Structure 1
């Protein structure tokens, strides 16, 4: 099918090889190159479409974002042009990150503005939750370990996304990495926008994000970097409950989202989420790096990244077929994403850090203390391990039996010595 992009077209669907729209007569091949296949979504200022790039071998898929001005008056077109150029500039600046779609082209045609971006194949977080159900605490920590470094990179480029939500996060099919899309609401702190006659900033008077996910200061058109931290926190609540902000109650005195009675997480993660969701910017985490430190997963990010990039021996088709099953497994066990050497690296990093902390605690309390291994049984990443110097023994069958009984924390065991070939 060829799809007509004219905003006034009454019947935009056409036969695949049509040159002009049978309904309105508009030319269908955009810029003599892009054949639009179908719409993907629509917002207040524009719409996105799936297209084929006929200018490249193989006619690869791409996403075309059409910015539709609300009128034809000169000041409206000028505002739309500034919005368009700002988004293109931002995408060009941050698009070299592997978790951000690349900008391929941008142009103006008949007072319509178009951005062409890399097409990301996969399911959104919203689709994943509807398909597989809610995530566990471990699954949410895995999600944060993937998205917080990306958010830190975006903020280092002096960009605020302003529309982080489950529908704008896609798990890419070919490598299971989380990709952040839709930078249409971006706020670039570097360039100051022109002001309108009313005194408001023209570019920030619109596209302020999604109600419920956007914090109060953003709805008041004063977004800061911590605004994205709040939206990420709301996304975590969705992952734990499958409830959107409109389905939740709010404290009438403070305006805080009332979510704690709906989730079952450790005190440690609960405290982190509570600070991410502070209504007051002053009391909220100020950066993604702060959240990583609070989660105590910052030392393991390099190992996690290496593990996620480890190639499996299965073919691409099999990985695609098993993608949804793997997503469900990842929600219960993030180490499932870290194959082969990755597991040993993460486990070794955790063991080394805990052993160092235990040794420091032992030196402070004197040499007369017993040096037996003590394990505080808890799934929380804030569990306290003291004087832990003896690694626990566990054979292959014991590991599988413990896993089937619901155990998920094997950080103190050297899994690299076990024969897990063929184990699910």
Structure 2
């Protein structure tokens, strides 16, 4: 029967629906990219960078811990139930962002958004990996992340446009109401659970790069294996953290930095949109390349391309708008190279019997990068100026790429 076969071609209908769901998931993050930092400084008159960036810190920490348990929940219940729960928790978010009477309500909205994203985005990843099997993981992750981050960028651009013409609130957040309703309805009525596909693959595979592990270990064993015991998984986890450190930094810093440099709100919207759109669309190409060329080359060189993006922005080689656009293109391109390769590499290294939990641990470390990046940016910006937050992120990214270069071994056997 078709439903018992692994592969993208065999399961393209469900795969396509999951891609559509992830468009809605990504769009929910895009709601905040351009407008929310400006709400903090202009509407609530917050002077401290750390306080302004606190909504990113709240989002990142909550999403990270939710990622950690999402795999366990998926294995204990079903992928679909966890996906639906994520949407239910996310329903109040656009209303809170649109009408919050104080900054604390914005923070609460980001706690809910972090839980919602940790459950819903994690499940779209796990469900696609379940469906396609090992042959097309890079392609599957490229399409998944392209849909999500493409929606992040386009929504950031759209909210910037709406804010320019209608004000910072509430109109830019009406888009999010549509996302939550469509995403929830699709998840309830058309998405089918995929755990049986993971069970099918588990019967076919006895050994991964982390060794033979056909039984289901506990979460603490998986946490240690993914975080530091396995050299490949450690290299992948730290690279994921630094990637989202860059994103967390740019999320908070770029709107305030470029406004201070004289770039208008529409220009900031374009800068904020270019990064995730290039990141998203680029993965349609880099995902399959991760299957063809291997995971490691894309991860290493993707990190170095991101460093180049920091250099262009940090050294102010052009006028602010041009530097922001070129730097964001380079950051997006580098992240597009890295993102699907990292997810595919985790899936290579972890046995299907505990892969969902290992992906949850990886995504825990990756999304802690949001909080760490925003916190570092706030502290560095307060003492040395926002441009130094860009410099520091570039230096950290360079070291992260070198770690992958030295410590990681390729996780797939490339055919000659």
TM-score range, shorter chain: under 0.3
Normalization by structure 2: what TM-score?
0.23
* Greater fraction helix: 2
Rg bigger for which structure?
A: 1
* Greater fraction strand: 1
Normalization by structure 1: what TM-score?
0.22
